[in-house]
Chain A
Amino acid sequence: NKHVIRGKSGVEQVKLLDRFNNKTTTGTLYLTATHLIFVESNVPGAHEIWILHHHIASVEKLSLTTSGCPLLIQCRNFRVVHFVVPRERDCHDVYSSLLRLLRPVSYDELYAFSYNPKQNEQQREVGWQLIDLTAEFERLGLPCDQWQLSDVNRDYKVCETYPRDLYVPITASKPIIVGSSKFRSKGRFPVLTYFYQEKKAAVCRCSQPLSGFSARCLEDEHMLQAISKANHNSRFVYVMDTRPKLNALANRAAGKGYENEDNYSNIRFQFVGIENIHVMRASLQKLLEVVGTRSLSVNDYLLGLESSGWLRHIKAIVDAAIFLTKAVTVEGASVLVHCSDGWDRTAQVCALGALLMDPYYRTLKGFMVLIEKEWISFGHKFADRCDQLDGDPREVSPVFTQFLDCVWQLMEQFPQAFEFSEWFLIQLHEHVHSCQFGNFLGNSQRQREELQLKDRTYSLWAHLLSEQHNYLNPVYSPSFAERHPVLEPSTQPWNFKFWRNMYHQFDRTMHPRQSILKHTLTLKESNSKLEDTAHTLQAVSSYLLSSPLRCTNTPLQSLSSLHDSSPDAPDGNGGERTVEGSSATENGYGELQSSFSSKNEPAMVSLEFGVARMTC
C-alpha cells in the first residue's frame, strides 16, 4: 500500500461529522493507492470506513472553521462523509491527492486491473464462464424455425456496440440487415432479445430510425415485416418508442426520429414517455439534495420527493414494462422497443419486461444472466454513465440505478417472487461503480475484448455467487413463481416508494433497527444447520452426560450462538446498551441534547450484509 500523504502514514485527529446529527467521531485518515480509510481512534474493535477512490464522485474543500478544515466527500454509492482535518496543510494534501486519484484517464488505472482475490488462473477462467448467453438463448428455445443466429456482426462490422452473436428472423437476409442498420442510429438494427415461447412472440430492440421528416428505408421496412411474420399469433408488431413524443419529434430535425406508420405495413406505434438521461440525472440530484437535508420536515420531504420527479420516472419505466409484458403475454404480439440510441431506456424496459414475464430472471443466477444480456452485451455505456474514466459529465446518468430501483419496487409488491433480496441489488450497484471487477468496465463488448478483461480482471458474478447466502430472500417461494409466471404489478402511485436502504445505505440512524430480512435469513439458515448439529451434539452429549443433568431454560438466541464462528462482539466500551444501534441522541427528538452529559456512543454496528464490504 502506497501512502500518498507526505511523509506520514496518516493524518491524525480527524473528525468525522455525522450528516444528520451532531455526533462526531475522531480518528485517523489514511490514503492508499485504492482507498481512503478512516480508522476510529481509542476504541477497541475500532470502526473503519473504507472508501474506494472510484466511488468518490466529488471532493469539496469547505471554508476553514475554528476546529479545522472541512472536507466533504460525496460518493456514487450515496455515502456522504464530512471530515474536519485539524491542519489546513494536511487537508490540502488529502484533497489534491484525491483529485489526482479519482480521475483516472485510462482503463489501466482502474482497480480491477490491480485487484487480486488470490485465485489461480483456472478459477478466474471458470468465473468468467459462469454466465453463458448462448445457453440462455437455448433456454429460450433459440434458434428455432423462425429465428436464427446471424454471423453478420461476427467482427463488429455492422454494429460495433452490439455483441457478436445476434438473433434475427430467418427471413431477414444479410442485405436487409445491413440496409436496416444503415437506417438506424449507431447501426443498432432490430434484433431479438427475449423470446416468449408460449406465444412465439419476440421482444426485439434497436435504436431510432434515421427517418428525419420523410426518409424511408425499404430494408428497414422489410426487417420489421420479417419480425412480424416470424410470429403467427399476431398480424402486427408493436413498436414502442420509449421517449416522450416531443423528444422524438425534435429528433426529426436532426435527421432521426420515429417510424411512420404509413410506411411500415404492419406495425402499431406507441410512445411511452420516459425522460432522457439528462432529466434523470437532474432528478436524482434533486432527490439526493432533498433527502440529504438536515432536520427535514415530513412535509418538505414529501414535497421534495414530488418535485424531484424521481418516483414519477420510476413509475414511467414500470408502466412501459407492463405495457410490453401485456402485449407479449396477453396479446401474443411481438414488440420492438427503442429509444434514441437504444442503450438506456430500451435496456431498462426490455430488462424489466423480461423480469415480469419470466420467473427465471427472478432467481439469483437468472438475474445475472438478464443483466449480462440486456445491459452488458447490448452495450449500455457503463463507462460513460457511471463515470468510470474522467469523461463528459453530461454522459453520466443513473440509468442502471433506476432499473435496480424498479426491481426493488417489484420486490416490495411481490415479496415472495424473487430469490434474491434487496442487498443483492445494492451490492450490484456498489460494483457497477467500484471498477473492482471486469464485468462493467467499458461501453461495449468490443471494447471489453480489446481490454482483454477476461485475462486481466476477475468476474463479479463468481464473487457474488460465492457469497450468495448473503443475498438470498428468505421468503422466496418457487411455488409462487409457478402460480404467477407473469407478474402483474399494480401501478397505483402508493406502490412506488422511496428506496431508503439504497439512497441512505450508509445513514445508519435512518434504518429499521432490527431487520426482518436478516433475522428470518438467520432462522432459516439455522433451521437446516440445527438438523445437522443436533446429530453431532446428541452423540457428544450422550458421551459427556454421565454427570448429573442440570436443565435451564435457554433462549433460542444462545443456541444460535453455538453455530456462529464469530459471535457479534457486544460493545465493551461502557457505552449504553442499545438495540442494534438505536439510541436517543441520534434521533434528535428535542433541544434537550445539550443538557445531557455526553455519554459514550455505542460501537457502530454494521447495518446489514451487502453494504460496502470491500475486499482488499
Chain B
Amino acid sequence: MTMEFSEHIKTANVDDVVLKLPLRPALKGTLCVTAHHLVFSERKEEGSYQLLLLLRSVDAIEKSVENLLGYPQYPSAGPGQRMTGLSGSSGTIVIKCKDLRILQFDIPGMEECLNVASSIEALSSLESVTELYPFFHRPRELSLSEPWGLSSPQQQYAQTERLWDRWRLSKVNRNFSVCMSYPRTVIVPCAIDDITLAKAASFRQGGRFPVLCYYHRSNGMVIMRSSQPMTGANRKRCREDELLLQAAIDESEMGYIIDTRSAQQAQQARMAGGGFESKAFYHHWRRLHRHLERGKVLQESLIKLVEACGDPSQNMDRWLSKLENSKWLSHVHSALSTAGLVAECVERDGHSVLVHGFEGTDTTLLVTSLAQLILDPASRTFRGFLQLLEREWVQAGHPFRQRCAHSAHSHARLRQECPAFLLLLDATWQLGRQFPLALEFSEVLLLRLAQDAYASDYGTFLCSSEQERCALQVKENTHCLFQFLLRREEREKYVNPLYEATDLAIWPSVHPQSLQLWTGLFLRWTEYAQTMDEAREEIWTIVKERKETDRPKGCAHTTLSRHDSFTNVENLMDELTVL
C-alpha cells in the first residue's frame, strides 16, 4: 500500500458492525477498510457471509452519529465508560452504490464511524487514474502479458475484404495529433489522402472527421460517424470535408446525415461556432434531424427514475406519474427509433449514412452501435457485441471517465456525468426482450457491463480516449474486461441459452406499449428479481436437457451417436427427395 492510501485510513478495522442489505436479515461482523475495498466479514464459524465492495463503486455516503453521552438523561455515563471506547455512542453509514444497491452499516463508536466514513469518501473519489484498483488487480489466473482488447479498426478492415477497393486504413492520427479522441487508425475513403483528412479534421469539433464504423455486406452501404462541422455564424465551408463525404458515396448516390439534434439546436449551434452540413455544399447528402437528449438532461432523467424506483409508496398513480416524469423510457424510445431510422436507410433504402450530433462522442455512438445491432448478426454474438462496444465506445472515445464518474445517487454537483452508455445497455435489453433468441448474450452480461462501466476491477472502461490510455499505460498495467469475460468459465454465466443465430435484421417495435422498464437493472435489489432468476434457471434446464438429448449418450454398442443418426437420416431423406 502506498503512502497516499494509508493516509486516508484512520480506522482500518471495526468490530461488531451490523450490516443491513436489501432482502437479507441484518448481519453482525467486522468491517475493514483497505485501499480499494470495503470488506465485511460476518462473525460466524461456518458459512459466514463476506462482502467485498469496491470503494470506487460508492456513489454517495450518508452518515449520522448519535452521542448518547451528550444527553443529560444518561448521567451514569462516567469516565470509566469513556475508557471502553465511547460505548454509549454509535453511528450509521448508508452507502449508495453506483450499481444502485444501498447498504447500511451500524457502527459502534462515533469516532470509528466518522473515520470509516471519511476514509470511504476519500478513497472512493481518487482523482488519479493510476491509483485506481485496476492498476492493482492481479488475479492469479490472469497474466498481464495476455492480449488486451478484441477488436480495432485494423482488424475490422482486415476482416472485411469487400471494403478494400473503396476504403483504406489511415494512420493520420498515429500521434493523436489530428484528433485527440480518435484511435490511431481509422477507416476512410481511398480517394482521400491524409493531408485532406487533416484539413477536414480541423473543420470538425474536436477533430472528429467522418470515419467508417460499419459496412453493410448485403448492399455495400456504410455507416459513418463524426462530430458537427464548425461552420459558425458565417457559414464557413471546407472543401476537404465536402470531398471526404463525397468520396464515401458514388456520384449517383444519395447519402443521409442523421443529426441527433433538433433543427433548432443545430441552427443555434452556429452561434457557438458549430453548425451543420448545408445542402448547398453537400449536394448528395440529405439531412434529417432526430432530437436525442444528452448530458445533464439524461443524467437528471436517470436520477429521477432511480428515485421513483426507491419510492416506498404503494400508490399506482404516483408511480406511473413519476415514471413518466423521469422521461427515461422516452429516451430509450428516441434511441431505438433513431437507430431504426439509420438501419432503415441502410438496409431498406440502400443509402449510406453519416451520424453526428455535437461532439460525436455520446448520442452519436448510441445510434451507430444500436443500428449495428439491428443490422449486423455478427454484433449480436457474445464476442461480436464486446467488439462492437470496444470499437464504438472505448476506442471511439466515449469519455467514460467523465460520464461515469457518478451515478444516480451522488450528491456531488453534476459536472459531465451522463448515462449514455447505460441507455445503450437499456436499449440493447429492449432488443433482447423483443427478440429473445437473437442475442447470444443475456441480460446478465448487460448488468455486468452497467456495473463495470462505473467501477471495475479491469482497465477497459478507464480513461476517456485511446490517447489517455496510452499515456497512462493502461493496457500494460491492467487486465482487459472483455478478454476476461470471454474466458470459458466466465462466458457461461453470460450467454443466452435460447440463442439461435439469424442473419436477418431485427427491427424493434418502438410503440410505447412495446417498451418496458428494465426491472433487472432499476429494480435489481428488490424481491422481484429473485423469482425471475429462478424462472431463468428453469429455461436453462430445459435447453440443456435438449442439448443433452441431442448429444451422444454413450452408445457403446454402436458406432453411431444419436446425433449422427439424425443427421444421416436427414441426409438420406434429402437424397431421396432429390432422386
- When each residue 551-579 of chain B gets 1 if its CB lies under 8 Å from chain A and 0 otherwise, what string results? 00000001010101111111110000000
Q: Which residue of A lies closest to B547 (CB)?
A: A556
B319 beta carbon closer than 8 Å to chain A: yes
Given A523-B543, A582-B435, A582-B507, also A500-B565 (CB < 8 A) = no
Which chain A residues lie closer than 8 Å to B546 at the CB level? 523, 526-527, 530, 556
Q: How far is the CB of A301 from chain B (nearest CB, A)?
A: 4
Residue of B nearest to A585 (CB): B348
Q: Is the CB of A491 within 8 A of B314?
A: yes
Is B348 in contact with A584, judged by CB distance below 8 angstroms? yes
For the A-B complex, the count of residue pairs with Cβ-Cβ distances under 8 Å equals 250
A590–B319 Cα gap in the complex (Å)? 31
In the assembled complex, the Cα of A478 lies from the Cα of B402 at a distance in Å of 50
Residues of A within 8 A of B280 (CB): none
Instruction: Identify the interface centre among B288, B348, B523, B572: most chain A CB within 10 Å of its CB.
Output: B348
| B531 partner, pick from A305, A415, A500, beta carbons under 8 A | A415
Cβ of A504 under 8 Å from chain B: yes
Q: Decide if B316 touches A496 in the complex (CB within 8 Å).
A: yes
Bound-complex Cα distance A306 to B328 (A) = 17
Q: Inside 8 A of B567's CB, which chain A residues have their CB?
A: 551-554
Contact with A along B511-530 (1 / 0, CB 8 A): 11111110100010011100
> Given A494-B523, A554-B567, A578-B507, is A299 in contact with B324 using a C-beta cutoff of 8 Å?
yes
Min CB distance, B124 to chain A, in Å? 29
Contact of A311 among B316, B327, B347, B527 (CB under 8 A): B316
Q: Quick check: A592 and B349 within 8 Å, CB to CB?
A: yes
Residues of B within 8 A of A579 (CB): 435, 438, 502, 504-507
B570 touches A494 (CB 8 A): no
Closest B residue by C-beta to A509: B509
B13 vs chain A, min Cβ distance (A): 38
Complex Cα–Cα for A537 and B560 (A): 11
Chain A 516-532 interface 0/1 with B at a Cβ cutoff of 8 Å (1 = within): 10011001101100110
Q: What's the minimum C-beta distance from B420 to chain A, rounded to whole angstroms?
A: 18
Secondary structure type dominating chain B contacts: helix
Q: What's the minimum C-beta distance from B538 to chain A, rounded to whole angstroms?
A: 4
Partner of B348, one of A492, A519, A558, A596: A596
Chain A 549-571, CB-CB to B under 8 Å as 1, else 0, gives 11111111111001000000000
The stretch of A253-261, A394-402, A456-464, A540-548 that contacts the partner chain: A540-548
B513→A306 contact, CB < 8 A = no
CB proximity to B under 8 Å, residues A568-596? 576-579, 582-592, 595-596
Query: Whole-angstrom distance from the CB of B492 to the nearest CB of chain A?
Result: 19
- In the assembled complex, A512 has its CB within 8 A of some CB on chain B: yes
Interface core residue of B319, B327, B341 (most chain A CB under 10 Å): B319
A contact residues around B316 at 8 Å (CB): 306, 311-312, 315, 493, 496
Cα A474 to Cα B546 in complex, Å, equals 13
B481 CB, nearest partner CB in chain A, Å: 28
Instruction: Give the residues in chain B near A495, CB-CB below 8 Å.
Output: 528
Q: Ordered nearest first, which 10 A-B pairs have the shortest CB separation? A: A493-B319, A589-B340, A301-B512, A302-B324, A415-B535, A306-B320, A589-B341, A590-B341, A475-B538, A312-B316
- Which of B319, B504, B571 contacts A577 (CB under 8 A)? B504
Q: Does A263 contact B (CB under 8 A)?
A: no
The 8 Å CB contact of B510, one of A475, A526, A534, A589, is A589
Identify which of B317, B341, B435, B535 contacts A514 (C-beta below 8 A): B435
Asked whether any CB of chain A lies closer than 8 Å to the CB of B6, the reply is no
Residues of B within 8 A of A (CB): 288, 290, 309, 313-321, 323-324, 327, 329-330, 332-333, 337-338, 340-341, 343-345, 347-349, 433-438, 498, 500, 502, 504-517, 519, 523, 526-528, 531-532, 534-535, 538-539, 542-543, 545-546, 549-550, 558, 560, 562, 564-572
B residues near A614, Cβ cutoff 8 Å: none
Question: A residues within 8 Å of B by Cβ?
Answer: 20, 291, 296-303, 305-306, 309, 311-312, 315, 413-416, 474-475, 477, 480, 490-498, 500, 504, 509-516, 519-520, 523-524, 526-527, 530-531, 534, 537-538, 540-542, 544-545, 547, 549-559, 562, 576-579, 582-592, 595-596, 599
Q: List 18 A-B contacts (CB under 8 A).
A: A490-B526, A491-B314, A493-B320, A510-B513, A512-B434, A513-B506, A520-B498, A520-B543, A537-B566, A551-B567, A552-B571, A559-B570, A579-B505, A579-B506, A584-B343, A587-B508, A589-B510, A592-B349
Contact A527 B545 (CB under 8 A): yes
Taking A492-B528, A523-B546, A562-B570 as given, write out 13 further A-B residue pairs in contact, using a Cβ cutoff of 8 Å, ordered by the A residue number. Answer: A301-B512, A475-B535, A490-B528, A512-B514, A513-B506, A519-B436, A519-B498, A552-B567, A557-B500, A578-B507, A584-B348, A586-B509, A589-B343
Residue ID in chain B nearest A498 by CB atoms: B513
Residues of A within 8 A of B333 (CB): 297-298
Q: How far is the CA of A301 from the CA of B517 in the complex (A)?
A: 13
- Tell me whether B519 and A494 are in contact (CB under 8 A): yes
List, in ascending order, chain A residues with CB within 8 A of B564's CB. 549, 551
Q: Which residues of A have CB within 8 Å of B309? A: 494
A550 close to B568 (CB less than 8 A):
yes
Residue of B nearest to A312 (CB): B316
**Docked pose: A526 CA to B549 CA in angstroms:** 10
- In whole angstroms, what is the CA distance A108 to B549 when docked? 53
- Contact, CB under 8 Å: A587 / B340: yes
With A520-B498, A530-B549, A592-B344 known to touch, is A416 a contact of B438 (CB < 8 Å)? no
Residues from chain B with Cβ under 8 Å of A516 in the complex: 436, 498, 539
Q: Nearest CB to that of A557 among chain B residues?
A: B500
Of chain A, the residue at the smallest CB distance from B338 is A589
User: Which of B316, B340, B344 counts the most chain A CB atoms within 10 A?
Assistant: B316
B320 cross-chain contacts in A, Cβ below 8 A: 302-303, 305-306, 311, 493
* A residues in contact with B542, CB < 8 Å: 474-475, 520, 523-524, 527
Docked-complex contact B513 and A549, CB < 8 angstroms: no
A514 touches B315 (CB 8 A): no
Q: Are B319 and A514 in contact (CB under 8 A)?
A: no
Nearest CB to that of A477 among chain B residues? B538
Report the minimal beta-carbon distance from B42 to chain A, rounded to whole angstroms: 26
Residues of A within 8 A of B327 (CB): 298-299
Most chain A beta-carbon contacts within 10 A, residue among B315, B347, B507, B517: B507
Residues of B within 8 A of A494 (CB): 309, 319, 323, 517, 519, 523, 528
- A527 to B575 alpha-carbon distance, docked (Å): 27
The residues of A that contact B438 with a CB separation of less than 8 Å are 514, 579
* A559/B566 contact (C-beta < 8 A), A513-B506, A583-B507, A590-B337 known: yes
Distance (whole angstroms) from the CB of A291 to the closest CB of chain B: 6
* Min CB–CB distance B91 → chain A (angstroms): 30
When the two chains form their complex, are residues A527 and B512 in contact, meaning their CB atoms are under 8 A apart? Answer: no
B528 touches A544 (CB 8 A): no
For A545, the chain B residues whose CB sits under 8 A away are 560, 568, 572
Kindly provide the distance from the CB of A465 to the nearest chain B CB, expressed in whole angstroms.
Answer: 23
Closest beta carbon of chain A to B300's beta carbon, Å: 16
Please report the C-alpha to C-alpha distance between residue A493 and residue B321 in the assembled complex, in whole angstroms: 11
Beta-carbon contact of B317 and A20 below 8 Å: no
User: Contacts of A583 on B, CB cut-off 8 Å?
Assistant: 507
**What is the minimal beta-carbon distance from B209 to any residue of chain A, in angstroms?**
26
Which residues does chain A contribute within 8 Å of B341, judged by CB atoms?
A: 589-590, 592
| B122, chain A: closest CB distance, angstroms | 36
Report A31 CB to chain B, min CB distance, Å. 32
* Bound Cα distance A559, B566 (Å): 7
Task: Check B566 against A554 for contact (C-beta < 8 Å).
Answer: yes
B528 in complex: contacting residue of A299, A413, A512, A584, CB < 8 Å = A413
Complex Cα spacing A167 to B329, Å: 52
Which of A414, A491, A509, A520 is in CB contact (< 8 Å) with B539? A520
Residue of A nearest to B437 (CB): A514
Which A residues are CB-close (under 8 A) to B436?
Answer: 512, 514-516, 519
Which chain B residues lie closer than 8 Å to A491 at the CB level?
Answer: 314
Which A residues touch B545, using CB under 8 A?
Answer: 527
Give the CA-CA distance A504 to B511 in the complex, in Å.
11
CB distance from B505 to the nearest CB of A (A): 7
